[in-house]
Amino acid sequence: MKLELDAPNLGDLEKQYLNKTVESGFVSTFGPFVTEFEKRFTQYLNVKKAVSTQSGTAALHISLHDLGVGYNDEVIVPALTFIATINPIMYVGAKPVFVEKAITEKTKAIMPVHLYGNPCNMEKIMDIAKKHNLYVIEDATESLGIRYKDRFTGTFGNLGCFSFNGNKTITTGGGGMVAGNDVKRLEHIKFLVNQSRDESKGYYHPEIGFNYRMTNIESALGLAQMKRLDEFLKRKKRHRKIYIETLRDVTCIHFQESYEGAEDSRWLTCITIDETKNIAELQERLKKEGIPTRRVFMPITEFPPYKAYKESDYDNAYAIYEKGLCLPSSTLNADDGIYYICDKIKEILL
């Protein structure tokens, strides 16, 4: 039995779509599957428009750029997230601020992250944004298909950004998406990601643009994966339920909690373990049993470009990192594999 942490689930349907793309000859950034994928994604989220991009990072960058976030502006973000949330803020010359209480006259946007597929309290965040007249860019790169109070994550803010990296719930190999209800703004983003080319004038570029387009071959893979998205989400929810129920008696384990009204499903099922247990030792013993795990993201302030921030200001982020562990959550895993993982964890920790 082979167990996977976050490997993609690809099969015959994906092969069929990819073969169609190859046979059509449209494998680059021009082709019908790009438009179709964007349309399908728009319909799924029940928003007015979606624009495909080269990556989730590109989606975040182009969103900040189009909203006019730039030099001397501040963007509020969590200290515990993947580095791709933070770097685009630096790309536009703005400053990441890692605490909500630091709203100042320079603050221009809030970037909530639905970490590991766990929805943020978007009701409260949107209230804060409205009170201070701030933009909201949702980093929903890990939370496709997850709802908060009957709305999908990525549909609350001015713009929502998604990722289709190889380890996400659905994959295009790479790629991302920007979605929302401001059609005019999203049409401009569509223009920007195509090098700001005015096709009516040939190769004429009235603005500085970006080569952030998704390819037709990636979109074909995305369309096939979208057909299986509900299947993947059900499996992830099922696996999380097994983890919670089977490990209930292991009192040193605590699962990531949800806000009221948030869907109890995850891209990755993550836990924290009491400091009385050694995480490194647990990982090593699980590895010997063929069980892959991964530490939760290291706080951003650990990385050289962001060392100017004081570690002591982010106690929660460090506490979660020091005690946090991601468990195998790939949809390739069968139920008996998840039960096996639980049994091994109990053997080690009890």
Residue 175 CA to chain centroid, in angstroms?
A: 12
Terminal alpha carbon distance of the chain: 24
62 within some domain:
yes
Count of domains in the chain? 2
% of the chain surpassing 90 pLDDT: 91
Strands (E), the chain: 49-53, 74-76, 95-97, 107-110, 135-139, 147-148, 151-152, 159-163, 176-180, 253-255, 270-273, 294-295, 324-326
Asked if 192 contacts 184 with a C-beta cutoff of 8 angstroms, the reply is no
Task: Give me the mean pLDDT over the 22-40 stretch.
Answer: 90
pLDDT, averaged across the chain: 95
- Same-domain pairing of 26 and 168: yes
Looking at the fold, whether 344 and 302 belong to one and the same domain comes out as yes
> Residue 235 has what pLDDT?
97
Please tell me whether residues 153 and 82 are part of one structural domain: yes
Residues 256 and 213 in one domain: no
> Both 157 and 273 in a single domain?
no
Judge if 111 and 197 occupy the same domain: yes
Task: Name the pairing type of β-strands 324-326 and 294-295.
Answer: antiparallel
For the entire predicted model, the pTM comes to 0.96
pLDDT at 117 over 70: yes
pLDDT value at residue 100: 66
Containing structural domain, residue 162: 12-228
Lowest mean pLDDT among 3-12, 127-136, 254-263, 287-296: 254-263
Domain boundary among 200, 228, 256: 228
Average pLDDT over residues 196-217: 95
Q: Is the pLDDT of residue 133 over 80?
A: yes
**For residue 29, is it within any domain?**
yes
Please write the tens of the pLDDT for every residue from 134-193: 999 999 999 999 999 999 999 999 999 999 999 999 999 999 999 999 999 999 999 999
The arithmetic mean of pLDDT across residues 262-271, rounded, is: 90
Q: What is the pLDDT of residues 299-314, one digit of tens each?
A: 999 999 998 887 678 8
Q: Which of 209, 228, 247 is the last residue of a domain?
A: 228
346 closest CA partner among 291, 301, 264:
291
Q: Could you say which DSSP state residue 198 is in?
A: B
Q: Which residues of 286-304 are buried (b: 16+ CB within 10 A; e: fewer)?
A: beeeebbbbebbebbbbee
Residues 186 and 256 occupy one common structural domain: no
Q: For the segment 47-101, what is each residue's pLDDT rounded down to a tens digit? A: 999 999 999 999 999 999 999 999 999 999 999 999 999 999 999 999 999 976 7
Lowest mean pLDDT among 23-37, 65-79, 148-162, 268-282: 23-37
The predicted pLDDT at position 307 comes to 84
CATH number of the domain encompassing residue 105 = 3.40.640.10
Residue 297 pLDDT more than 90?
A: yes
Q: How far, in Å, CA of 292 to CA of 26, rounded?
A: 38
